[in-house]
Amino acid sequence: MFNPKLYIPRAAIIEKIEELVYDTKLYRLKFKHDCRCDSSSESDYKPGQFVQLSILGAGEAPISICSSPTEQGHFELCVRNLGLVTAAAHGLKRGDEIGIRGPYGNPFPIEEVKSQDIVFIGGGIGLAPLRSVIKYVMDNRDDYGEVIILYGAKTKEDIVFATELDEWSQRQQVKVFTTIDSGQNGWTGHVGVVTTLFDKIKYAFKYKAFVCGPPIMIHFTIKGLLDAGWAQQDIITTLERHMKCGVGKCGHCYIGGKYVCTDGPVFTYSQIDTLGIEV
Ligand SMILES: Cc1cc2nc3c(=O)[nH]c(=O)nc-3n(C[C@H](O)[C@H](O)[C@H](O)COP(=O)(O)OP(=O)(O)OC[C@H]3O[C@@H](n4cnc5c(N)ncnc54)[C@H](O)[C@@H]3O)c2cc1C
Ligand code: FES
């Protein structure tokens, strides 16, 4: 049920900014005041949900929460400098104030996949929303089975969360494979788009696949998984659409009878298949 209180932006203070790569920054945020609304604490969200980030004089943009609710006292957003709002965000410094509405949207089905094996397939900054789930799974390691992370970036300079990818690969029953699109001086790892890592997944039917990345990557990833025999309902991905309200009122994100902001942004491929759209 839509909660109108969630339409009110709350002031949040930037506690920390980290430059992840040349065009992408990670923001650690804390609410400025206590709130009497339903989402009262910084960890009151689920992996896969997003917020509307607002900056005075610039506007609002939907941004996925990339931290895990298992972390207390703050939440994190990973923002690529792409346009008006995101450029304004990149101009901010520690201690500055921004507006946050939400959290909005449905989460990845982390409860439903408990005890199962999961493969995360991320492209570029699409690793950000997946990071929320991955961190959640790492913090509740005994509740989940084997984890495989396949991550593709355009170049080595575009790899986000490199240190964390390395840390996750040290965990029990976790394998991480990273690739860049084409060969580059100083890169000794795998070369090729992320689908060229699919031979790392044995026994496709064992896994749930969580996929996030740019539209072209999602298209070929889903095609590759379906060709390899994955069931439609085992492929879980996100749809990105232009959004304004974030709460199912304005119709900007309406597609095939669904609002991406409230019915999504997380969908199984079997749900997407009924929307009558190409991904
Ligand atoms: C649910 C959701 C979660 C997102 N999570 C993140 C995130 O974690 N980090 C992040 O950096 N970005 C994320 N995005 C994308 C981000 O919201 C857009 O890049 C943002 O709206 C840009 O705002 P802006 O004012 O900076 O750019 P604008 O000035 O509005 O636009 C810059 C350019 O990007 C295009 N554009 C803007 N939004 C979209 C869109 N949704 N789809 C296709 N083209 C678009 C515009 O047409 C224009 O060409 C997410 C989007 C959605 C819908
Ligand atoms: S963004 Fe307004 S209905 Fe989805």
Q: What is the CA(41)–ligand 2 centre distance, in A?
A: 24
Tokens at 204, concatenated: 């496709």
- Bridge-partner residues for 190, per DSSP? 179
Computed over every residue of the chain, the mean pLDDT equals 92
Rounded to an integer, what distance in angstroms lies between the CA atom of residue 151 and that of residue 177?
A: 6
Q: What is the CA(212)–ligand 2 centre distance, in A?
A: 20
Give the long-range contacts of residues 271-274, CB within 8 A, separation 24 or more: 272/237, 272/239, 273/232
| Choice from 51, 104, 253, 258 to test ligand 2 binding pocket (greatest atom count within 8 A of CB) | 253
Rounded to an integer, what distance in angstroms lies between the CA atom of residue 37 and that of residue 42?
A: 12
Residue 1 has pLDDT above 60, yes or no: no
Tokens at 25, concatenated: 């920054």
- Note the pTM of the prediction, 2 decimals: 0.93
Give pLDDT, residue 36.
58
Of all protein residues, the one whose alpha carbon is nearest to atom 3 of ligand 2 is 248
- Residue pLDDT, tens place only, 131-145: 999 999 999 999 999
Of all protein residues, the one whose alpha carbon is nearest to atom 7 of ligand 1 is 63
30 or 41: which carries more pLDDT confidence?
30
Give pLDDT, residue 2.
38
Give pLDDT, residue 24.
98
Amino acid at 113: V
Q: What is the CA(116)–ligand 1 centre distance, in A?
A: 32
> pLDDT-derived band of residue 222, with 50, 70 and 90 as boundaries?
very high
Question: Which residues, at least 6 apart from 123, have a Cβ–Cβ distance to it below 8 Å?
Answer: 151, 152, 153, 194, 212, 213, 214, 217, 218, 221
- Residue pLDDT, tens place only, 22-31: 999 999 999 9
List residues near ligand 1 (CB under 6 A).
50, 59, 61-64, 78-80, 82-86, 125, 128, 240-243, 265
Q: What is the CA(142)–ligand 2 centre distance, in A?
A: 37
Q: What is the CA(220)–ligand 2 centre distance, in A?
A: 27
Collapsing DSSP to helix, strand or coil, 253 comes out as coil
Per cent of the chain over pLDDT 90 is 84
State which ligand 1 atom lies nearest to the alpha carbon of 58. Answer: 25
Give the long-range contacts of residues 131-134, CB within 8 A, separation 24 or more: 131/66, 131/67, 131/78, 131/161, 131/164, 132/47, 132/48, 132/64, 132/65, 132/66, 132/67, 132/68, 132/108, 133/47, 133/48, 133/68, 133/108, 133/210, 134/168
| Strands 10-21 and 24-31, bridge-based pairing | antiparallel
Q: How far is CA 110 from CA 119, 148, 157, 159, in A?
A: 13, 15, 31, 25
